Structure 1
Amino acid sequence: MAEAISEAAVRERETLAELRSPSGREQEPFDWDPEELAERWAARHAEWRRVQALMQASGWDTYKPEQDTEGTLWAQEREVRRAGFLARHAAHREQATDGLRADILLSARAGRLVRALAARAGLTPDQIVAQIAENAVLSEEGTVSVPSFIPR
């Protein structure tokens, strides 16, 4: 336990020092974000200290995860967040293969109208634009219209 805490403390100091120093080194495309890495090591350091304090207070020689209610709750919350992220990622990938993702620039008037419609319907502007596109109809003459619909 002491080794893990010591290593986390060293890594926390190193990542914070790297974050503060103007290294001039260009970050590789797949490098860790230095701020995120520093935050992760700070969190690990804090968690190892929490576990050590729990073990000392409980008189444990070894860590017993099943008896660590706080750690178990955090692990469950982490797993729920992870599962949610994976579900959103899968949905996004599915949409990307079937749908179209576009960045559009609207005029100020059109942007205000879309934001007002979205606020009124309790949706995001992206959702309103997507629903308008889903309901659009192309006539034989080539005109585009959107029949009345209730945003969902």
Structure 2
Amino acid sequence: MWSPEDVARAAVRRQGEGLDQGQVASKVAEAARREQETREQLRTSAASLSGLDGLREDPERLAAVWTARHTEWRRVAALMEQEGWPVYAPEQDVKGSEWAQKRDTARDGALARQAAWQKERQDARDELQAHVWLPADASRRLRAIAARTGLTPEQILAQLAEHVRLTEDGALTAGPFTPQ
């Protein structure tokens, strides 16, 4: 769901809080080294990728994440130097905060869409679709009632089904009702 840049920005904001310029410089160097290592592993044959087999991460995505982390750590180091910050404070990082807000908004939207989709699926499981063959005279009466009420025959039958009750002796009964 998240791009390598999103993953990198979130990690840097989380890990960078309270780090001084020297510590951020160390993070830049580490990210550069890890970026180089993952890129080098991608250039080698598939057999040498066995070192990454234990990871659940795609080696190409892992390399992209480290490239993005390297870029983000460099951005933070430049920002700290430009602003003269002794330590990195994510809440003061305007661009980083904008990105985090967009990411949170996107996540909330995705969670809402997922919840709506799950509810739709649950509702669909609870629904019943039936094909009903009625004798000609019953069909004509149903169509006449539907025409008078402005509903479809299917809507009339659905409303009728809502009023059906099972009696103690197993018979089905529906009391008088007005289609709505």
TM-score, structure 1 normalization = 0.58
Ranges in structure 2 where 5+ consecutive residues have no aligned partner? 1-23, 135-151, 153-180
Give the length in aligned residue pairs.
108
Superposition CA RMSD, Å = 2.9
1:6-85 equivalent positions in 2, closer than 5 A? 6-24=29-47, 31-85=56-110
Secondary structure in 1 matching 2:56: coil
Which residue of 105, 118, 138 maps to 2:131?
138
Distance apart, 1:91 and its partner CA: 3.5
Return the structure number with greater relative CO, CA threshold 8 A, min gap 6. Answer: 2
- Percent identity of paired positions between Structure 1 and Structure 2: 44
Q: Whose helix proportion is higher, 1 or 2?
A: 2
Post-superposition Cα deviations, 1:102-147, rounded to whole Å, max 9, x if no partner, equal xxxxxxxxxxxxxxxxxxxxxxxxxxxxxxxx9x762327xxxxx9
The match for 2:115 is 90
Distance apart, 1:36 and its partner CA: 1.3
The match for 1:123 is none
> Matched residues in 2 for 1:62 and 1:29: separation?
36
> Matched residues in 1 for 2:112 and 2:45: separation?
39
> Matched residues in 2 for 1:16 and 1:94: separation?
43
Distance apart, 1:12 and its partner CA: 1.0
Larger Rg: 2
Assess, with a 3 A threshold, how the Cα gap between structure 1 residues 15 and 85 changes in structure 2: closer, same or farther: farther
TM-score, structure 2 normalization = 0.50
Between 1:43-52 and 1:11-20, the stretch displaced more is 11-20
For 2:63, the aligned partner's letter is A
> Matched residues in 1 for 2:78 and 2:43: separation?
30
Assess, with a 3 A threshold, how the Cα gap between structure 1 residues 54 and 29 changes in structure 2: closer, same or farther: closer
> Matched residues in 1 for 2:43 and 2:124: separation?
43
Between 1:45-54 and 1:30-39, the stretch displaced more is 30-39
